[in-house]
Structure 1
Amino acid sequence: MGDSQTWTAGPGTAERARSVLATAWSCTVTAHGGRDELVGAHTVTDDGRVILQVPEDSALLTAAICAPRGEPCAVLEFADVAPVPVRSRIRARLWLAGWFAPEDGRLVFRATRVVLRRPSGAETVGLDEYAAAAPDPLATAEARLLTHLADAHPDAVERLTRLVRPESLHATTRVVPLALDRHGLTLRIERTRAHGDVRLTFHRPADDLAQLTERIHVLLAQAAATATCPRALQRQRADGDR
């Protein structure tokens, strides 16, 4: 990262981990010296177990049958990728260490260790906390919402920069929406050789799309009221046109 991130009033680590699981399309499985990339093959139960659909002749299935029960025999890795193209697009990585058990032709993975790594560092998630957590209610809609905001409403994104400290916008070349959850919106501020992220927190959590719309409108109203904050992006563009 070029700059440090500002994380405030965001989801807890367990909730963040469950959100990564709910939205990841692929996972990497490392087991018994082998490494497999599985696409569209996993689902997640309410208590956080990962179900893998694998062929009957899969080496993973054979390994699960032969492995000692209760000993970690595999590591699953999931990547949280920003839906909008940006530098350093991986927002987080989730690792689950544990063991597989074959059930009805599927592999059921039970975690014995859960680690979430974000740009701010790696955190271990307690197993009980992980099992009890639920994904962010906006997680499955986040990619569509961020893409729409970036593509259809760049003017709104620029207006939101009025809520950012002026010094954070110095030498900015582009601002794009990086992440969205019920607690707030994160903007990626890009510069020529560096970037940083700024968190805009909602006045209260949004648990559905109707509430999210209201929260975004509140932020835009706050931005409109911040008349003393310089329009750094407009100045940057105007200077570049000269």
Structure 2
Amino acid sequence: MGDRHTWTAAPAAAEHARSVLAAAWSCAVTAEGGREEFVGAHTVAADGRVLLHVPEDSALIAAAICAPRGEPSAILEFADVAPVPVRNRIRGRLWLSGWFVPDDGKLAFRPSRIVLRRPSGTVVVGLDDFACAQVDPLATAEAQLLTHLADAHPDAVERLTRLVEPDSLHGAVRVRPLAVDRHGLTLRIERARGNGDVRLPFHAPADDVSQLTERMHVLLTQASSAAACPRALQRQRTDGDG
């Protein structure tokens, strides 16, 4: 395939963490008094601080008031869930440990440690890096983009497998789009036993949906000139989601 791609970067850990935080709809909070799940209750400030809107009778409010100032007293957990149905849909997890401070009817969370677990491994994210990192411009649109690709264009997904090394497709029974960011598209290759992920980097980063469309067009053009798709993957056109 030669030098088909000239852009091979992937999101830095801090950027990835901020993107997980921006796209997450729910979070779990562990603090003195137990663990609570919150759905649609958090917002994120420009510097990455989490602002949590909780009921007046939540035990978190009392815990925030009584906790020693500046000492870690709570852990927030966010799951990075693939929007397209695949095996093992949890793509990663983000943990923030720190403390809450009451803030105008909300709880503002001040992190003291940030840990990101992703397929490439677990990494501690620097607090300054996290505060300064930019959210991936496609993060909040990713779910819609991937579900549209999977549901409306399964033929395009099949064609993209022509860019995958044959060894990675050995035993494959289904390929689905797993993730997309400004740097590239990731495919989930499901086999009879187990699964694996393959990343297709863009030739240049995409800063908005229109640029993403162009980057995808380039990949598909490259795929059209590649070797024919393995016959086993033709099943995707008729198998559906399974």
TM-score normalized by the length of structure 1? 0.92
Which residue in 2 is equivalent to 1:68? Answer: 68
The one-letter code of the counterpart of 2:159 is R
Which residue in 1 is equivalent to 2:221? Answer: 221
Matched residue SS, 1:87: coil
Residue-by-residue CA offset, 1:81-104 (whole Å, 9 max, x unaligned): 000011110001000000000011
Aligned mates of 1:12, 1:71 — CA distance in 2: 28
Matches within 5 A, 1:28-47: 28-47=28-47
2:158–2:233 contact (8 Å) kept in structure 1: no
Aligned mates of 2:64, 2:23 — CA distance in 1: 25
**1:191 Cα shift?**
0.5
Which residue in 1 is equivalent to 2:57? Answer: 57
Aligned mates of 2:21, 2:74 — CA distance in 1: 17
Aligned mates of 2:229, 2:132 — CA distance in 1: 44
**1:56 Cα shift?**
1.7
2:28–2:38 contact (8 Å) kept in structure 1: yes
2:158–2:234 contact (8 Å) kept in structure 1: no
1:171–1:236 contact (8 Å) kept in structure 2: no
Which residue in 1 is equivalent to 2:229? Answer: 231
Residue-by-residue CA offset, 1:25-50 (whole Å, 9 max, x unaligned): 10000001410001110000000100
**1:54 Cα shift?**
0.9
Which residue in 2 is equivalent to 1:109? Answer: 109
Query: Is 1:157–2:170 an aligned residue pair?
Result: no
2:174–2:233 contact (8 Å) kept in structure 1: no
Any unmatched runs of 5+ in structure 2? Answer: 1-7
The one-letter code of the counterpart of 1:57 is D
Aligned mates of 1:237, 1:140 — CA distance in 2: 31
Q: How many residues align?
A: 229
Residue-by-residue CA offset, 1:3-59 (whole Å, 9 max, x unaligned): xxxxx5211000000000001010000001410001110000000100000122211
Amino-acid identity (%): 72
Residue-by-residue CA offset, 1:98-123 (whole Å, 9 max, x unaligned): 00000111100010000000122210
Aligned mates of 2:143, 2:161 — CA distance in 1: 21
2:175–2:188 contact (8 Å) kept in structure 1: yes
Any unmatched runs of 5+ in structure 1? Answer: 1-7
Structure 1 residues 210 and 236: alpha-carbon distance in aligned structure 2, compared to 1, 3 A threshold: closer
Aligned mates of 1:182, 1:96 — CA distance in 2: 24
Aligned mates of 2:93, 2:176 — CA distance in 1: 21
Aligned mates of 1:31, 1:115 — CA distance in 2: 17
**1:237 Cα shift?**
4.6
Matched residue SS, 1:173: strand
The one-letter code of the counterpart of 1:108 is A
Matches within 5 A, 1:1-242: 9-226=9-226, 229-232=227-230, 234-235=231-232, 237=234
Aligned mates of 2:12, 2:33 — CA distance in 1: 33
**1:236 Cα shift?**
5.3
Structure 1 residues 236 and 176: alpha-carbon distance in aligned structure 2, compared to 1, 3 A threshold: closer
What RMSD in Å do the two structures reach over aligned CA positions? 1.3
The one-letter code of the counterpart of 1:217 is H
Q: Which 4+ stretches in 1 moved above 4 angstroms?
A: 235-238
Aligned mates of 1:69, 1:140 — CA distance in 2: 34
